[in-house]
A and B are shown apart, each in its own frame.
Chain A
Amino acid sequence: QVQLVQSGAEVKKPGASVKVSCKASGYTFTSYYMHWVRQAPGQGLEWMGIINPSGGSTSYAQKFQGRVTMTRDTSTSTVYMELSSLRSEDTAVYYCARVGRREVEYDAFDIWGQGTMVTVSS
């Protein structure tokens, strides 16, 4: 079945970096754009950026420009999101989410990963 499986929870100190993985299965990895969305504790959803798993091109929310890097490995059908210079406000659950239409950048997210909790604490 179509699914996205993310890496496990992380605890990081302020100033460090974290790299979250999202492994896709059950569909043609390169045909569907992938987005990253985060959710701070008790808060709403926040869009972080998009990656084209085919060519690797990316676009990031201005808020995260310079701190976030999204990459992909087509050999393992995995996308990655790395966030640097972590601060306490980055404590959140991070989700990868697939666009539901082939080769369309922006549309509804039909499949979500289970989420990865990242805690930033000294």
Chain B
Amino acid sequence: QSALTQPASVSGSPGQSITISCTGTSSDVGGYNYVSWYQQHPGKAPKLMIYEVSNRPSGVSNRFSGSKSGNTASLTISGLQAEDEADYYCSSYTSSSTPNVVFGGGTKLTVL
């Protein structure tokens, strides 16, 4: 069982918006602004999409945005495109004893 809780799957049609949640505790998501989101296509390494809750790395589309409320972080993808279909993982620093980094179980995004 993963330390952070994500829905197993979400889906949306091209052009729509979807949101993926990531629920932790006050020792991780709720306590620090070190929440990040990764996109992973089959057979590929993860790619950083959002860092420190809501910041986008250079080169990442502004259709991707992040936020946090309490112990739950969220990734929103607007204007869904076929190439957005992938697995998405959230991650956070945790002050609990090791591991010091925890991941969510991953969410499979299907673009209908």
Contacts and interface: CB of A to CB of B under 8 A. Distances in A.
B84 interface: no
Given A50-B100, A61-B98, A62-B99, A107 B51 contact: yes
B105 interface: yes
Contacts of A114: 45
B106 interface: yes
Contacts of A115: 45
Nearest to B49: A108
Contacts of A97: 46
B34 A100 contact: no
Contacts of A47: 99-103
Interface residues of A, number: 25
Contact of B46 (A59, A63, A112): A112
A62 B50 CA distance: 27
B6 to A, nearest CB: 9
B101 A108 contact: no
Nearest to B55: A108
A27 interface: no
Contacts, number: 69
B38 to A, nearest CB: 8
B45 A113 contact: yes
A95 B46 contact: yes
B74 interface: no
A50, A62, A108, A110 — which one has the most chain B CB atoms within 10 A of its CB? A108
Contact of B101 (A44, A65, A106, A113): A106
A44 B40 CA distance: 10
B48 A35 contact: no
Nearest to B57: A110
B23 interface: no
Query: Closest 6 CB pairs between A and B?
Result: A108-B51, A108-B36, A61-B99, A47-B101, A112-B45, A45-B103
Given A44-B105, A100-B51, 5 more contacts: A44-B106, A47-B102, A47-B103, A61-B100, A106-B93
Interface of B: 2, 34, 36, 38, 45-48, 50-52, 57, 89, 91, 93, 97-106
